Amino acid sequence: MTDPARTPRRDPRLSFGSVAAAYERGRPAYPTEAVEWLLGSQPLSVLELGAGTGKLTSTLVELGHDVFATDPDEQMLDVLSARLPDVRATVGTAEQIPVPDRSYDAVVAGQAFHWFDLELALPEIGRVLKPGGRVALIWNLYDTRIPWVRRLGRLLGQQDAEREDLVAELDESGMVSAIDERSFRHWHVVHRETIQDLARSRSNIASLDTAAQDARVEDVLAFYDAFGRGMDGMQLPFHAACYRASFLPLAQVLRTPDPEPAAPPDSSATAGSGEDGDDDVDAVARVVTDSAYFDRPLFADSRTDTAERLPRIVTDTADRIPRVLTEPVDRTFGPDDDTGIILFDFR
């Protein structure tokens, strides 16, 4: 007899594979204007996490973005690849993204961010973004301001509270700039067949046994029949909840570290040393010109530096002007003695 305590739990993210076709038929698309707001008008290199059957992917491609789609469920990606054969796609998770450091302008997730383990996923997202890269999130949510939609939402399931908690967690992580948010209202037409697909594609229903799934779908069908639309279908109102933010440079922890800066010169060879071997200067100026040095995550072990949550203006001259750091030698200065201290500020 199998010990339930020893039986490995099925990853809930893989509950969609068995209903991939229903997901594609029943789920709404994403409004073009919402995706344009998330990413802007210029084509970008985009990594999509939790791409599923390609509902968001297709809109990204239509807008001219170069998309690499990932999803933990191979059956969902099979549907995506059948629809969008020219899009690169592979099995992968947000917690272990299968791409190199600093590869993409933007990372997007449609109807997927609530599945991520943020403790692992946020550093990974920061790793794969280019400096100044953007994270963009979108959810299609029922417009529950309307009473009958609210009743249908209770039958199908909704993630409003969970979504809001996760966005707050992202905001409080210290890894991103201030989060912009906006909502776009749109409609999705469902019929007697596709509303069953919509129900079966919900993870809270897809994870049930067959009898329980059928019972829930019957409840949804009863609601649809009582609504009285018949062959005309039902105009189901949604709003696309959108969030965008830029990853802060000091929050980006690379899998392959940048090269270490050159070692400082030997103080004994510094010009100005006296004949008795005592240095005439009290600090050794170390000039660093490797621009990669200044892109390194200086606070890699503490990714919550609150100062980094403020907007920073960085000019490209910073990579060309040598910066001078000082390494003081052992000496006790008097309270008013500032000799030997060299300060350079090129701002």
**CA 196, CA 209: separation in Å to the nearest integer?**
16
Res. 129 pLDDT band, cuts 50 70 90? very high
- Among residues 39, 29, 95, the alpha carbon closest in space to that of 67 is found at 39
Give per-residue pLDDT as tens, 260-281: 666 655 544 444 444 444 443 3
Phi/psi for 164 (5° steps) reads: -65, -40
Token pair of 56, please?
Answer: 């968001």
In this predicted structure, the answer to whether residue 131 has a pLDDT above a threshold of 70 is yes
Res. 339 pLDDT band, cuts 50 70 90? low
Long-range CB pairs of 188-192, under 8 A, 24+ apart, other chains included? 188/28, 188/29, 188/140, 188/235, 188/236, 188/238, 189/233, 189/234, 189/235, 189/236, 190/26, 190/224, 190/233, 190/234, 190/236, 191/231, 191/233, 191/234, 192/221, 192/224, 192/225
Task: Identify whether the C-beta of residue 22 lies closer than 8 Å to the C-beta of residue 75.
Answer: no
Mean pLDDT of 128-155: 94
User: Between 227 and 72, where is the model more confident?
Assistant: 72
Give per-residue pLDDT as tens, 16-32: 666 888 989 999 999 99
- Among residues 141, 179, 186, 175, the alpha carbon closest in space to that of 161 is found at 141
CB atoms within 10 A of CB 336: 5
Token pair of 335, please?
Answer: 């309270």
Measured between alpha carbons, how far is residue 331 from residues 267, 325, 336, 341 in Å?
A: 15, 18, 14, 12
Q: Does domain 11-251 have CATH number 3.30.930.10?
A: no
Calculate what percentage of the chain has a pLDDT beyond 90: 52
Lowest mean pLDDT among 44-48, 92-96, 276-280: 276-280
Give per-residue pLDDT as tens, 223-269: 998 886 666 788 999 999 999 999 998 777 777 655 666 665 554 44
**Domain extent listing, the chain:** 11-251, 257-347
3-state secondary structure of 255: coil
- Mean residue pLDDT across the chain: 77
In this predicted structure, the answer to whether residue 133 has a pLDDT above a threshold of 50 is yes
Give per-residue pLDDT as tens, 4-15: 444 344 455 555
Lowest mean pLDDT among 52-56, 133-137, 179-183, 274-278: 274-278
Question: What was the pLDDT predicted at 264?
Answer: 58
Question: What was the pLDDT predicted at 32?
Answer: 98
Res. 315 pLDDT band, cuts 50 70 90? very low
Token pair of 178, please?
Answer: 């201030």
According to DSSP, residue 303 is labeled T
